[in-house]
């Protein structure tokens, strides 16, 4: 058992207790972050005169070699090590000797793991943001192509007013845009370096924490060493944001599942994102949408687990906090895979435009506009509302739509109706009259699409050191 402690103990840890305590089977995931943080720490130690240049160079070279060997597969991270920190340090000492034993000077595993997790999460936020942006680019393209694709808008799952597919998709565009803003906020708020906090009370060595932070692309060092090693609220924020992303994906998935049904037939999901039945040869199932909807609960579970884990932990570090990793890793993986597959499904989905338009016509979505027509002829709105209600009832009895009635039939309901009623209640007119910003009218949609296309051109302004790899090339 390779571990970084033991001098105070008189016998080895029970094997089962060791395995229960060990984290190597999941924290091996951030071996690159552990090495990156160690390189920055070594460089700072040399700058402060705690290491010689020769020692620093040997450490950086050894760490770089470990990273490359792991990536190439010639060095395997095995379960004989307690955690990723002991794996890296043990292999470093084996390669360069006593100089490797000096790497941990002024550092604890508490601030080391806090750093590793922040470096890892920071990278994952950026990758998740890239997937969100790809989905937004798909949506903006579909919006541009479907400004005149008419469909029913719904309230209470009942057809309410006519809208366009562009307008409907635009609602999800705004949701995912806010998701990106939440991720960016979390990134900026968490981007402070905990390294140098030690176990909980800092260190007596003259560390330059600001220099270490700058090497790693942080805004600066954290300002309280106890908070530095026990802070996990950024993970709670992250899991909350990931849960919100999944909630939006799940709502969208629910609609696609409904639209894909035989009863609606608004969409045809591409074969590449559908599955069949082992017994029913006619079936084509929307499994990607269903799994996305289902996996939402998995991410919610990670958030609840993290909140529950953290709720009773006194300051500062406690082993409970080791539980933060697996649930966070799983939530991140789940969201990223759902975003990639969901985007592929939407990008290749075929919309049955004629069916969508017919559904809007047959659902009396133009009833409000018919009432507004009467108001325009001098009928008080409340009376107009009652007249159109009677008109809808008449249409239901005849299994027809408002625009399919003859003028004579319309006049039996109200003599105010004239020939211009047909243009007033056409889907095109109903939609085009709605020109306030955010509405489905053509001019309003063009303005919104232009705004959002400019938004998609924007890039994050990151600290210079962020994602600049490899670090050793900057410091050797």
pLDDT tens series, the chain, 476 aa: 455 545 565 567 667 776 777 789 888 999 999 999 999 999 999 999 999 999 999 999 999 999 999 999 999 999 999 999 999 999 999 999 999 999 999 999 999 999 999 999 999 999 999 999 999 999 999 999 999 999 999 999 999 999 999 999 999 999 999 999 999 999 999 999 999 999 999 999 999 999 999 999 999 999 999 999 999 999 999 999 999 999 999 999 999 999 999 999 999 999 999 888 778 878 889 999 999 999 999 999 999 999 999 999 999 999 999 999 999 999 999 999 999 999 999 999 999 999 999 999 888 999 999 999 999 999 999 999 999 999 999 999 999 999 899 999 999 999 999 999 999 999 999 999 999 999 999 999 999 999 999 999 998 777 655 655 566 665 55
365 and 305 in a common domain: no
- Domain annotation covers residue 1: no
Check whether residue 61 and residue 74 sit in a common domain: yes
Q: Are residues 143 and 123 in the same domain?
A: yes
Give the integer Cα–Cα distance in Å for 429 and 366.
10
Q: Of 190, 200, 211, 70, which Cα lies nearest the Cα of 124?
A: 190
State whether 344 and 230 are in the same domain. Answer: yes
- Give residue 443's domain range: 361-453
Helix axes 31-47, 109-145, angle to 10 degrees: 120
Active site residues per annotation: 156, 277
Fill in the DSSP letter of residue 155: E
- The tokens describing 331, both together, are 């939530």
The closest alpha carbon to 21, from 37, 39, 5, belongs to: 5
Question: What domain count does the chain have?
Answer: 3
| Bridge partner residues of 2 (DSSP) | 81
Classify residue 252: in a domain, yes or no: yes
Residues 167 and 247 in one domain: yes
Please state, in angstroms and rounded to a whole number, the distance separating the CA atoms of residues 432 and 226. 60
The reply to whether 314 falls in a domain is yes
> Do residues 134 and 264 both lie within one domain?
yes
Q: Comparing C-alpha atoms, which of 72, 285, 317 is closest to residue 198? A: 317
- Main-chain dihedrals φ then ψ at residue 382, nearest 5 degrees: -65, -35
CATH of the domain at 413: 1.10.40.30
Last residue of a domain, one of 358, 389, 404: 358
Residue 108 belongs to a domain: no
Record the tokens describing residue 53, joined without a space.
Answer: 């240049």
The contacts of residue 170 (CB under 8 Å, 6+ apart) are: 139, 143, 445, 448, 449
- What CATH code is carried by the domain that includes residue 141? 1.20.200.10
Q: How far apart are CA 337 and CA 335, in angstroms?
A: 6
The Cα 338–Cα 250 span in angstroms is 10
Residues 319 and 403 in one domain: no
Q: Is residue 391 part of a domain?
A: yes
- Provide the sign of the torsion angle of the four alpha carbons 62, 66, 67, 71, taken in this order: positive
Is residue 315 reached through a cis peptide bond, with omega within 30 degrees of 0 on the bond before it?
no
Q: What are phi and psi of 44, to 5 degrees?
A: -65, -40
User: How does DSSP assign 337-348, residue by residue?
Assistant: HHHHHHHHHHHH
Structural domain contains residue 191: yes
Co-location of 139 and 194 in the same domain: yes
Q: Are residues 317 and 286 in the same domain?
A: yes
The CATH number that applies at residue 39 is: 1.10.275.10
Whether 353 and 367 map to the same domain: the answer is no
Q: In the listed set 358, 386, 417, which residue is the last one of a domain according to the structure?
A: 358
Q: Tell me if 329 is assigned to some domain.
A: yes
């Amino acid at each position: 058992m390779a571990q970084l402690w033991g001098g105070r103990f008189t016998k080895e840890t029970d094997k089962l207790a060791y395995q229960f305590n060990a984290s190597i089977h999941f924290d091996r995931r951030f071996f690159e972050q552990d090495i990156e943080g160690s390189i920055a720490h070594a460089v700072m130690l040399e700058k402060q005169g705690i290491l010689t240049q020769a020692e620093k160079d040997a450490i950086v070279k050894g760490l770089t070699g470990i990273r490359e060997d792991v990536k190439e597969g010639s060095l395997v991270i095995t379960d004989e090590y307690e955690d990723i920190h002991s794996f890296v340090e043990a292999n470093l000492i084996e390669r360069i000797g006593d100089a490797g034993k000096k790497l941990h000077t002024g550092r604890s595993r508490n601030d080391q793991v806090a750093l590793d997790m922040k470096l890892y999460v920071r990278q994952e936020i950026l990758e998740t943001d890239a997937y969100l942006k790809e989905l937004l680019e798909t949506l903006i393209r579909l919006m541009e192509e479907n400004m005149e694709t008419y469909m029913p808008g719904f309230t209470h799952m009942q057809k309410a007013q006519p809208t366009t597919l562009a307008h409907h998709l635009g609602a999800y565009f705004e949701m995912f845009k806010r998701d990106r803003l939440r991720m960016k906020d979390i990134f900026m708020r968490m981007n402070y370096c905990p390294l140098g906090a030690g176990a909980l009370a800092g260190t007596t060595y003259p560390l330059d924490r600001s220099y270490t932070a700058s090497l790693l692309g942080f805004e600066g060092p954290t300002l309280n060493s106890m908070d530095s090693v026990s802070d996990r609220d950024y993970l709670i924020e992250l899991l909350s944001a990931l849960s919100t992303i999944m909630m939006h994906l799940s709502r969208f998935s629910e609609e696609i599942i409904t639209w894909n049904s035989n009863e609606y037939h608004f969409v045809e999901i591409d074969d590449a994102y559908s599955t069949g039945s082992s017994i029913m040869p006619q079936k084509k199932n929307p499994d990607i949408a269903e799994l996305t909807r289902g996996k939402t609960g998995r991410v919610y579970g990670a958030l609840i687990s993290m909140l529950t884990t953290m709720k009773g932990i006194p300051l500062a570090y406690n082993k409970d906090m080791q539980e933060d990793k697996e649930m966070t890793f799983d939530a991140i993986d789940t969201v990223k895979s759902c975003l990639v597959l969901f985007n592929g499904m939407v990008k290749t989905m075929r919309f049955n435009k004629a069916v969508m338009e017919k559904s809007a016509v047959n659902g009396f979505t133009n009833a409000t506009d018919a009432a507004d027509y009467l108001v325009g002829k001098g009928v008080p709105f409340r009376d107009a509302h009652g007249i159109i209600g009677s008109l809808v009832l008449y249409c239901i009895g005849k299994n027809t739509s408002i625009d399919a009635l003859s003028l004579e039939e319309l006049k039996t309901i109200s003599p105010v109706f004239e020939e211009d009623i047909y243009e007033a209640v056409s889907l095109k007119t109903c939609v085009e009259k709605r020109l306030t910003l955010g509405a489905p009218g053509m001019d309003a949609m063009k303005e919104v699409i232009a705004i959002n296309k400019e938004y998609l051109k924007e890039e994050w302004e990151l600290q210079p050191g962020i994602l600049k790899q490899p670090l050793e090339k900057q410091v050797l």
